[in-house]
A = this chain, B = another copy of it.
Amino acid sequence: SEREGRSGSSTQSSHRLLAYSDALISIIATVMILPVAHTKVEDNEELRESVQLLLTTKIAVYLMTFLIVTMAWAAHIRLFQVIVRIDDCLALLNLACMMLITFLPYTFSLMATFPENMLGILLFCGCVMVMGVIQSVIVVYAFSRPFLLNEQIQISENQTFYKQHILKVIMRVPIMCFFASIFSFIFFPLSYVLLAIITFLPYISQCLKWCRSKAIGQVEDTPDSMVFYTYLPNEPLSKERVEAFSDGVYAIVATLLILDICEDNVPDPTVVEKQFGGSLVAALKAYGPEYLAYFGSFATVGLLWFVHHSLFLHVTKATRFMGLLNTFSLAFVGGLPLAYQLTHEFPRNSQNELEAIQISCVIIFFAGIFQLSIWVVALYSEQETLHPYVWYGGREHVFMLAKLALYPCIALGTFFLTCILSKFSTSIFHLMEITVPFAFLVLRLLVRVGLAILRFIFCPNRSNLTTV
């Protein structure tokens, strides 16, 4: 087996395995938006409150699932930053792990539907514990074949220390889940508290750490002070994997509506014959709003992807906090098709339609503002995280800012316009949908014109300098 290991044919670069895992995890992260999207919202005042309660529950389940699956994904990144080469055995173990991750959303929605039944907790904790065992087996296996490991660890003298540290970090979550599952027999609210701690601790600790470092200045991390949930000191997130995961989410979200349309909106030939006198055009006209919703949501998701793509072209290193903001942005992107679908489900000029349009604006706004905040956070440590030409005062700085600010500004503008001119809300919204792609096409021109005007107004003497 030593001979095989060094031959390079049975050990492989883990690149494609990770890309496939990212694709699987991104699909699973967004899956719980489907039950939300397929909730029938009636234009009936009596049923409205119960439907709204149901919808709120489902949205909460979606957001929580998104966070939990993203957490599992972050753990997966950390594991495969230590193990950089794989062989067949690791590939198969990883597939088993993926299977369990894809089952998490279901166990989680069981918990949400039957909060007082311990079955959901048990299934969820069971999945997490088995995943912990599989990950430990992966780590033990990889450390028994050191050529699979990260160079840093491969040349290190205290491999055994690293191995024990990583195993300790990995087993932390399953052990907490073990206690949560035991408490579910005794006093189940305690289990939920434990699960909430597991889920939010890394986020809270990250936010606190970032706030503290901003408040009292950068604290130098000593190699010993390995933070909670980390294997290697000072490891950044893998930029490739953040991109691959985001691409997966954008792709599945962009196509969510066409999946529905392809399945449900082909009329039945007998219905066309009877109700529309054989006229297919008349029958399809009824679906018109659905097509509009599809094109609108595809364009919006596509353009948000475009902004994300432009942003990450300029990013050289993704910190954990940037990854967290990216997750929030993606979670809102996941809600977009649903919001667009709602805008066309209600009668023209009803209160519901106005609300649906405003919700869409709010979702677009948040998706965009979190993208913008990734950039703002990156600017705080621009020398480490960004290419020089987008640094503050750099050649592309203003243009990148304009690109990132376009969607939040337009969404905010549309929101306030629909508040004032509520009668024309639909027209305003459609106009926005059509204008935005063209705005992106001519954005570079617009920014130049804008800068020239600003320069002409504020410092006419220096107007011969070029900054864009």
Task: Report which A residues bind B (CB closer than 8 A).
Answer: 7, 9-10, 12, 16-17, 19-20, 23-24, 27-28, 31-32, 34-35, 38, 88-89, 91-92, 95-96, 98-99, 102-103, 105-106, 109-110, 113-114, 117, 119, 243-244, 247-248, 250-252, 254-255, 258-259, 261-263, 265-267, 269, 272, 280-281, 284, 295, 298-299, 302-303, 305-306, 309-310, 312-314, 387, 389-390, 395-396, 437, 440-441, 443-444
Q: How far is the CB of A449 from chain B (nearest CB, A)?
A: 15
Other-chain residue from B38, B98, B295, B390 in contact with A302 (beta carbon distance below 8 A): B98
Select one of B89, B263, B306 contacting A95, CB under 8 A.
B306
12 A-B interface contacts by CB (under 8 A): A9-B314, A9-B387, A9-B389, A12-B313, A16-B247, A19-B244, A23-B251, A99-B302, A105-B258, A106-B262, A106-B265, A109-B266
- Is A251 in contact with B119, judged by CB distance below 8 angstroms? no
What 8 new A-B contacts, CB under 8 Å, besides A9-B390, A17-B309, A110-B266? A9-B314, A95-B299, A95-B305, A95-B306, A113-B266, A113-B269, A114-B280, A119-B280
Is A250 a contact partner of B113 (Cβ separation < 8 A)? no
Top 6 A-B residue pairs of the complex, sorted by shortest distance between their CB atoms = A23-B251, A95-B302, A27-B255, A117-B280, A20-B247, A34-B263
- How far, in whole Å, are A56 and B108 apart by their CA atoms in the complex? 37
* Bound CA–CA A27/B7 (angstroms): 37
A38 touches B255 (CB 8 A): no
Chain B residues near A34 (CB, 8 Å)? Answer: 259, 262-263
Q: A310-B88, A389-B7, A441-B89 are in contact. Are A27 and B252 (CB under 8 A)?
A: yes
A465 CB to closest chain B CB, in angstroms?
Answer: 15
Considering only CB atoms, which chain B residue lies closest to A394 in the complex?
B9
Are B119 and A306 in touch, CB under 8 angstroms?
A: no
With the chains together, A310 CA to B95 CA distance in Å?
A: 14
- A119-B281, A281-B119, A306-B95 in contact; A88/B266 too (CB < 8 A)? no
Stoichiometry, copies per complex: 2
Please determine whether B20 and A309 come into contact, CB atoms closer than 8 angstroms: yes
A272 surroundings in chain B (CB, below 8 A) = 114
Name the B residues within 8 Å of A117 (CB-CB): 280
Shortest distance between the CB of A296 and any CB in chain B (Å): 11
